[in-house]
Amino acid sequence: MRGSSLATRLFLSASAWLVVILAITGVVLSSVYRDATERAFDRRLNLYLRTLIAEVATPDEPPDRQFQSLGEPLFELPLSGWYWQITRTDTDKSEVRASRSLWDKKLPKLEEQGIELTAAGIRIGYVDGPEGQSLRMVERPVDLGAEGKFLVGVAGDASEIFDETRSFDYYLGGTFTALGIVLLLTTIFQVRFGLAPLKRISEAIAAIRSGRAERLEGDFPVEIAPLARETNALIDANREIVERARTHVGNLAHAIKTPLSVIVNEASAHGADPFASKVLEQADMMRDQVAHHLERARIAARVTIVGTVTEVAPTIEALRRTMEKIHRNREIVIESKADPQAKFRGERQDLEEMVGNLVDNACKWAQSRVFIDVLVEPPVEPGAGSKLRIIVDDDGRGLSADERAKVSRRGQRLDESKPGSGLGLSIVVDLTALYGGNLSLGNAPTGGLRAELQLPGV
């Protein structure tokens, strides 16, 4: 059941236990009913047996009136399945008297079947009768002293027991099947109703993660309320940690920038000194390193914020207008096409920094045009978010595979005549990785460089 939902697992578990319990209960009830039916049948046989023994004990009764008090017509009907038999056992030649229903047949003896006497002095069990019938038989030895010793047996058609038990099993099976269906439907309702609050929490957390909500709101059952309360507390604690991290990053930036500025100012005052030039060079490198790592720390702190969503189309349009103004002396035309439904799961400032660096680089190397295309790809699997693809093409000279690998490294510049520190693409790579996306460089259809960002969407 790997990957199955909690509701499915609970339903299957409850269904399995329900089937097992009903099956065991059905077997027990069927066995109890069969025993009760046998006991009732045995009482009937014992009644006939005592009546026969009483008849044997009063031999003065005229033969034509003996054994008439049994009151069972089936003893008179040939091969009816109901028989009695009295066998004298104290003489060499056994004398047998039997019911008319036996015709010319004889009943087997339970003693010969290996059945022992019970505490009541009788033997009882199942035997095969005439015509292959299954009989329930009770047998008792009787010692009348001088009158002789007898073995009195009465047998009845066991099909009455079997038919009665089978009929009960049919009714029991039908009743338990209906009961099982009702209980399964009730279980489905209880599972769905009982897990509804958990589904609400799951949907609320998804809304928080996607930026549609900030906290878990609403009333929850007593059992679920602590989970909602602790989740809200965790979200608040996360925000506090992020704010403290931002504060520490800002404090560190100010603490480092001031000594660096002093070093740069002092070195600038001795510009002709080779030592001062070396200090200025190293200070610039330190400033770039500090800016890079502080930017990474700031980004990492910001990415941990839950629930931030940015509209992509307005951000791209604002960047397009800004970049056209920055590069208006080169008369670069920037065309953009963005899906109005596109949303970035992150902060607007980070999206502007990533796309802005790519568009700025494209404008520096383009001949006359830059193209920005924003696409939204549907989720690959249920529950996953959509993917955002931002493609920036230019019509410049493009880059070889070796050059594309080189420009992605921090501080690497292909043309020192172009303005910049060489950190732009490196920052884009770092930012993209922190958001779980990636940056790829390739050849654009316009002949220049294609930079493609893949970022998490909503």
CA 215/CA 192 separation, integer angstroms: 24
pLDDT at site 71: 73
> Sheet holding 369-377: strands in order across?
333-338, 369-377, 387-394, 449-456, 438-443
The full DSSP string for 96-162 is EEE-GGGTT--PPPTGGGTPPP-TTS-EEEEEE-GGG-EEEEEEEEEE-GGG-EEEEEEEEETHHHH
State how far the alpha carbon of 299 is from the alpha carbons of 284, 329, 348, in Å: 22, 32, 12
Please tell me what DSSP assigns to residue 329.
G
CA 343/CA 276 separation, integer angstroms: 50
Q: For the chain, how many helices (H) and strands (E)?
A: 8, 12
pLDDT at site 424: 61
The more confidently predicted of residues 192 and 61 is 192
pLDDT in tens, 356-406: 989 998 898 888 899 999 998 887 766 566 889 999 999 988 887 777 777
The more confidently predicted of residues 277 and 135 is 135
Output the pTM of the full model.
0.48
pLDDT at site 296: 61
The more confidently predicted of residues 248 and 232 is 232
CB atoms inside a 10 Å sphere around CB 338? 20
| CA count, 13 A, side-chain hemisphere, 241 | 12
Do the Cβ atoms of 279 and 261 come closer than 8 Å? no
44 band by pLDDT with thresholds 50, 70 and 90 = very high
Q: What residues have CB less than 8 Å from 111, skipping those under 6 apart?
A: 123, 139, 151
Do the Cβ atoms of 125 and 117 come closer than 8 Å? no
pLDDT at site 258: 72
pLDDT in tens, 140-182: 999 888 788 899 999 999 999 999 999 999 999 999 999 989 9
pLDDT at site 417: 42
The residue-averaged pLDDT of 280-309 equals 65
Residue found under tokens 């030895």: 141
126 band by pLDDT with thresholds 50, 70 and 90 = very high
- Looking at the DSSP bridge assignments, the partners of residue 392 are 372, 451
